[in-house]
Structure 1
């Protein structure tokens, strides 16, 4: 359970001011005399007081004003909580509502508010949660547009122990006319200056979540997805850090979006250096028809404040995601060491071949065998079989239950790969239900990997896949599911909806994915789910609500993974990062790296192997046994400890380092990685983080104080585990060397 601190929400009736605080962070805003919500402050905690003086109004040329004979009150120059375009504010709005007469002008003003203990859930959407109402407080502010009678509920939750505030919006049509939501921000935050560097996690397939950094400038900076998934290209996360901030000190604001579909995050800097930070579902190709009496809820935005640099921001996200976003039995349970057959066999396997791999895996200590693509339907290649979730009798004539029983008889768990959202045209499902595809009438469909997307916005489709999957899960007594998704959405249209609802198809699809996940995790709470989308194409907080780990990238090369896992750790906890040791030459880069380094990288994630152990030499198998032994001993520390980034591969190019410290600070595991070897290398020390300054730690049989290790540093010159060359008394170092140290407190 999270530690309990005191979250407070104060409302000052004399100034209509709201102040959310927990001793770490404050978020302050007020309602103006005409009911507009004006933002006052967000940052390090402030004492309770009246901060109305932070509302500044000045006369400026070429400005429009709210009231006649008043040359001060203009929304263009005020910081707001829920901005609208066209009533003196010319920046991007928090909402755009098209009315039946075509007007998009609204005037939402304060109606009422409610302060409650705990945190309510969001209907049909993943979101953070509490297990005890003392863990958080929630403010619900209701706004109303008098002309349309539409109301908006703004939800603010502040957690007691973490510098975390979550935001969401709910639009309720209490009028008689149909409204069309064209844009709805889950969060809009006006910051008083633009003195920030913007950090995003971007890339492509095989090189996901690389750190990209630039200074904010006048205009709009943004990242987005229009692919129907959160995407390999941009993760739904940004950080704004002060120019002087780094990994260990300085102010940072982190913003994440709990959603698995199209999103938009942007920072708009105006000519007066006010920064409007916004996140929400991407308004591109979006529109939601809201009939009288209906409501629409936006996905959750998560805002984190840190005055201890990027690592401090990450610690809040990690703890929140690990304990109050992920759910179920596997939330904080030790994850099994797995082996996946994909890179070992691809489609070339039968029961005997799989069992031979599993037997060798069992011998070295692997706990879970995962059968990947190719076990179902007529799946002899990637042109057929998707949608038919029953055994491929050509490969598995005795059925999936026979294989599962043989795996389980070895003392191992058994898992399967599914791609439930997809279908091949060469499948029984497509032949029976060709209209279940997402496609545009009278136009040729576009494919990806020879497959097409099922319309998960249709309940009948989701129910069919659920029943198929349930039969296999029951039959094989499945322990684990790898849920893959190997292409973005195209040809987005639903012939069941009218023309005015086609902007709903993307979001309805995501809701269908969530619905299938919810049915499965509810019926099978003991199954460990790992999400995947050609690797990291849908590595987002929305997925973590259902699957506590994600296959981080299809690129399993250890050196490539340094940047991928380092960038991923800005937001996501180590326990969520699927990381495997694969064969060399690597199947993505053709690089040959030592098996020790492959293990040393994969340790910092949900650990496993992606190879045929029968192909390894005896000395390599001995190393594998030691790797598994090490991981089993320390996986609880690795997954549940505090993770610190030390040396960035994006800054140092040739070096990467990180460490994890147990919650009680008695154990720490430090890792250092070198890319290319260097001649006559300089001496080097590396300062550690998060240790007990008053304790002594044993490293390789020697004692060091926590104070020394954090201030003087650990000597890492030629930090390899190589042997000393007797001829020149030098350590033998090589390309792709790495080293892992275990630090234990004296007497622990």
Structure 2
């Protein structure tokens, strides 16, 4: 093969000269070390990932004994940090490139590295380069010491004369050598999100991926847990917890090789996405965020929760608005008067805001159901003659804030927008159109479409600067996959579309940084930390049955703090009490989507009290440390407690889901308390006229006793709940 030379290229000998320094790169948190080392062949390898080493001298002990021959070959394969296709490693690569001459091999050699401080941590930047082709890869790692979280991503660029084709482009590669590996994954569908299941990883590959494009996490979520040496456990054992910040197609590859080692590869799913990368263009992969806990998944979750509140979630340290939504109450059937009355109900309930859901827009094709109107973001004059300004005014008069639902990335074929701009929708005109929920996805790879989608928010805000909240929905995956805008570059669609979505979200945040926004996607089909840079919270599921929500909220809590998870009290599962429904919703960001007129006087009084309690206890529930105590997957009950940062306040949520007849009831042992403090226990969220039947109510206990002995809180009645407030004396 004719070798391609390029100006300023480093020769293999020069690369090996760098390697003679035995360069070691240490990426550390307070609890974890990731150690990389340049081999004698000039390439970069992972030598260690595990609990932090106490002695600096031990960092240099690791070696894969990789030696370069005179011809540049190596005598032994190792754990290459960013392995390229076509080299001597026969397993899944991190990057695969087709060069201008048709060659598909990529060998990356270490060039340089540097560190720099960033908010909350240290960023390590590593530069790699192919010795035969002008291809550069930059690896980025940001370590957050206190939170014990590392995020990593890569950048790929080149200076070949013509575009190269990327067919694989991982964010990173991580390796483990343990006796066994156990994967916990989170499968999903509409109304049954975040379902946890586990399996042992054996030789070969296990792949978790999605090909939906938009609403991409509908069938599986972009996060996982891997138990090392044992199954994932809440409070003991080593566990890797990882999540990818990507709102589109993703792929996790878990490969156990012939030697019993595991490689973990998080990436954009390259399905139908051979990406044509131009000269000097930078391809940036999504951020992969992970924590390595040696105290089980509960500690790993707290690591991620704290990191998210501090550095990733929009307004992560701010308060959250309680709300009343109209959807379950009215559906599409409402008018200005009905909404104004609901705003008064919101005030009476004690929540902060009224949220208007779907059905307020469209004139030529009014939004009477989900068959028409999407794309025409003009208020329906016959339904709301005063427009959005009249609604904002009515909310202000009622004494609550006003929020509004939008779905700006979508279009109904029955809309003025589609009539004017059919080329703005992703669809294949050569084939019969398949509609998911009677709609199509707008092509956000097109800058003109990005401007239009951004304009939906901007136009509303310019007319109504007092809008206090947006619920941003995304109900359809991409169907009829063809971009009229990209034409002969369809391999760009899935990726450029998501980048276009981010472009819009960034503009919204830049221009309206103080407006809270809920991320929704037919329920919980968008739940990633890249999108959550622009949203204060996400809608976990359209399923608000409290029994189902116990499982859904348990699953999502593995990776997301309570203040990012919206939970509403509705009429789903009327066999359960309003108290049980409200207590389940109160362990997350509380909202209501129910008619007050359907409640008894006692139920309404209870809800008013529960709202006041939730607001008062926000510092503990929203910003405190969460401890998952009793799993609904393992018992007929569930319990979670939150502890404020100063350990002076704690809240325990306990739920009897479906107890067996006269089953043995175990005390609930709390966690995270100060063992030397004395806490008064008081049951709150009680129905009017009902006294607590718990023995612990009104009693005082040391934190040590509460954590080692615990208290009786479970019972035999199905769908019964207790909320306990603990106050340090």
Q: Tell whether the structures are fold-level matches, with TM greater than 0.5.
A: yes
Which residue, 5, 26, 39 being the options, matches 2:33?
A: 26
Give the match for residue 706 of structure 2. 709
Q: Deviations over 1:256-306 (max 9, x none)?
A: 111111000111001110101010100111122122222111111112111
Give the match for residue 634 of structure 2. 651
Give the match for residue 8 of structure 1. none
Give the match for residue 6 of structure 1. none
Give the match for residue 608 of structure 2. 625
Evaluate the alpha carbon distance shift between residue 680 and residue 191 of structure 1 in structure 2; reply closer, same or farther with a 3 A threshold.
Answer: closer
Conservation of the 8 A alpha-carbon contact between 2:637 and 2:659: no
Residue 12 (structure 1) shift = 11
Secondary structure of the residue aligned to 1:172 is strand
Give the distance between the partners of 2:724 and 2:20, measured in 1 at CA: 57
Residue 337 (structure 1) shift = 1.2
Secondary structure of the residue aligned to 1:566 is helix
Residue 160 (structure 1) shift = 2.8
Secondary structure of the residue aligned to 1:369 is strand
Give the distance between the partners of 2:714 and 2:483, measured in 1 at CA: 61
Give the match for residue 215 of structure 1. 200
Secondary structure of the residue aligned to 1:517 is helix
Which residue, 637, 650, 655 being the options, matches 1:668?
A: 650
Structure 2 counterparts to residues 556-571 of structure 1, below 5 A:
556-571=544-559
Give the match for residue 688 of structure 2. none
What value does the CA root-mean-square deviation take over the aligned residues?
A: 1.9
Residue 466 (structure 1) shift = 2.0
Conservation of the 8 A alpha-carbon contact between 1:57 and 1:72: no
Residue 509 (structure 1) shift = 0.9
Give the distance between the partners of 1:371 and 1:480, measured in 2 at CA: 10
Give the distance between the partners of 1:50 and 1:151, measured in 2 at CA: 31
- Say if 2:73 is the partner of 1:48: no
Conservation of the 8 A alpha-carbon contact between 1:251 and 1:305: yes
Give the distance between the partners of 1:403 and 1:56, measured in 2 at CA: 67
Give the distance between the partners of 1:373 and 1:642, measured in 2 at CA: 35
Q: Deviations over 1:333-359 (max 9, x none)?
A: 221210110010101111111112221
Which residue, 289, 293, 316 being the options, matches 1:302?
A: 289
Give the match for residue 241 of structure 1. 227
Structure 2 counterparts to residues 535-614 of structure 1, below 5 A:
535-583=523-571, 586=572, 590-614=573-597
Which residue, 515, 518, 521 being the options, matches 1:533?
A: 521
Structure 2 unmatched ranges of 5 or more: 1-17, 682-696
Conservation of the 8 A alpha-carbon contact between 2:95 and 2:170: yes
Conservation of the 8 A alpha-carbon contact between 1:390 and 1:472: no
Q: Deviations over 1:487-530 (max 9, x none)?
A: 1112222233253x211111111111111111112211221100
Q: Deviations over 1:597-629 (max 9, x none)?
A: 111110111111011112222121111111111
Q: Report the number of matched residues.
A: 690
Give the match for residue 238 of structure 2. 251
Conservation of the 8 A alpha-carbon contact between 2:445 and 2:485: no
Give the distance between the partners of 1:162 and 1:282, measured in 2 at CA: 29
Conservation of the 8 A alpha-carbon contact between 1:390 and 1:468: no
Secondary structure of the residue aligned to 2:142 is strand
TM-score normalised by length of structure 1: 0.89
Conservation of the 8 A alpha-carbon contact between 1:531 and 1:551: yes
Give the distance between the partners of 1:411 and 1:203, measured in 2 at CA: 39
Give the match for residue 453 of structure 2. 465
Structure 2 counterparts to residues 161-200 of structure 1, below 5 A:
161-193=146-178, 195-200=180-185
Secondary structure of the residue aligned to 1:630 is helix
TM-score normalised by length of structure 2: 0.92
Secondary structure of the residue aligned to 2:171 is strand
Secondary structure of the residue aligned to 1:316 is helix
Q: Deviations over 1:111-130 (max 9, x none)?
A: 12222222xxxxxxxxxxx2
Evaluate the alpha carbon distance shift between residue 360 and residue 53 of structure 1 in structure 2; reply closer, same or farther with a 3 A threshold.
Answer: closer
Residue 474 (structure 1) shift = 2.5
Give the distance between the partners of 2:280 and 2:512, measured in 1 at CA: 35
Give the match for residue 729 of structure 1. none
- Say if 2:659 is the partner of 1:688: no
- Say if 2:469 is the partner of 1:480: yes
Give the match for residue 275 of structure 1. 262
Q: Deviations over 1:529-563 (max 9, x none)?
A: 00100010111212211101001100001010000
Give the match for residue 685 of structure 2. none
Residue 431 (structure 1) shift = 1.0
Give the match for residue 90 of structure 1. 90
- Say if 2:415 is the partner of 1:427: yes
